[in-house]
Chains A and B, each alone.
Chain A
Amino acid sequence: DGGITQSPKYLFRKEGQNVTLSCEQNLNHDAMYWYRQDPGQGLRLIYYSQIVNDFQKGDIAEGYSVSREKKESFPLTVTSAQKNPTAFYLCASSQWGNENEQFFGPGTRLTVL
């Protein structure tokens, strides 16, 4: 089945620890995106990548890092520098081009204790 997978679904970490969220897609999409969703604030863009080995900061990149070594994978690391990391994280992908919608993965809920 084609789609986007994110793992894990739920993640608990202690304050001060880095944590990496996984995002994999087998849709052969060029572009991949990471969003954060907080209650009442919709989705905010963290990082996005249009092509392998290239990525750009979104609106709230501070405290996060990404890599895009393979077309199908776009992992997100939440570092200890992120002041309020508890949130729902969504990964998305799309074919490059303005006429293509983004498809979303099921999300990872991160709770920092």
Chain B
Amino acid sequence: EDKVVQSPLSLVVHEGDTVTLNCSYEVTNFRSLLWYKQEKKAPTFLFMLTSSGIEKKSGRLSSILDKKELFSILNITATQTGDSAIYLCAGLIQGAQKLVFGQGTRLTINP
């Protein structure tokens, strides 16, 4: 059975801290790993990682994929209160193009 597991499930930090969110996966016919941010309603796309070891960056956010260890991390540096959200990772199944989601990490940034 395809499975994606995120940790921690919940994280509370102070503004300015750096956080690392974890995502491990067991997905047959794995194609890519996707990260989404969900603030209130619709998840918004952050990154798609297909190749191992290549870091993707967008401002204070960065992510990397390890296809040998079946693992991805999402880093957020100098956190701001606007980073408070649920962060979802998902494995994309090649061919069917189905996404298998993890449970999400609820990140709270306190001022």
Bin chain A's interface residue count: 20 to 34
The contact string, 1 if C-beta is below 8 Å from chain A, for chain B 12-40, is 00000000000000000001101010000
* The residue from A31, A43, A56, A103 contacting B101, defined by CB atoms under 8 A apart: A43
CB distance from A53 to the nearest CB of B (A): 18
CB distance from B36 to the nearest CB of A (A): 8
For chain A residues 18-59, which have a beta carbon within 8 Å of chain B? 31, 33, 35, 40-45, 48, 50, 56, 58
A58-B4 Cα distance, complex, nearest whole Å: 16
For chain A residues 61-113, which have a beta carbon within 8 Å of chain B? 90, 94, 96-99, 101-107
| Majority secondary structure, B binding face | strand
Q: Is B9 an interface residue (CB 8 A)?
A: yes
Q: Is B48 an interface residue (CB 8 A)?
A: yes
Q: What residues of chain A lie closer than 8 Å to B41, measured between beta carbons?
A: 106-107
Q: What residues of chain A lie closer than 8 Å to B4, measured between beta carbons?
A: 42
CB distance from B82 to the nearest CB of A (A): 19
Number of interface residues of B (CB under 8 A): 27
Contact B88 A31 (CB under 8 A): no
Contact B103 A41 (CB under 8 A): yes
Q: What residues of chain B lie closer than 8 Å to A45, measured between beta carbons?
A: 98-100
For chain B residues 47-90, which have a beta carbon within 8 Å of chain A? 48, 50, 88, 90
Contact A90 B98 (CB under 8 A): no
Q: Is B97 an interface residue (CB 8 A)?
A: yes
* The residue from B6, B31, B50, B98 contacting A48, defined by CB atoms under 8 A apart: B98
The 3 closest A-B pairs by CB, nearest first: A42-B101, A104-B42, A43-B101
26 contacts between A and B (CB under 8 A): A4-B42, A31-B97, A33-B99, A35-B101, A40-B9, A40-B103, A41-B103, A42-B6, A42-B102, A42-B103, A42-B104, A43-B88, A43-B90, A43-B101, A44-B101, A45-B100, A48-B98, A56-B96, A90-B43, A99-B50, A101-B34, A102-B34, A102-B99, A103-B45, A105-B42, A107-B42
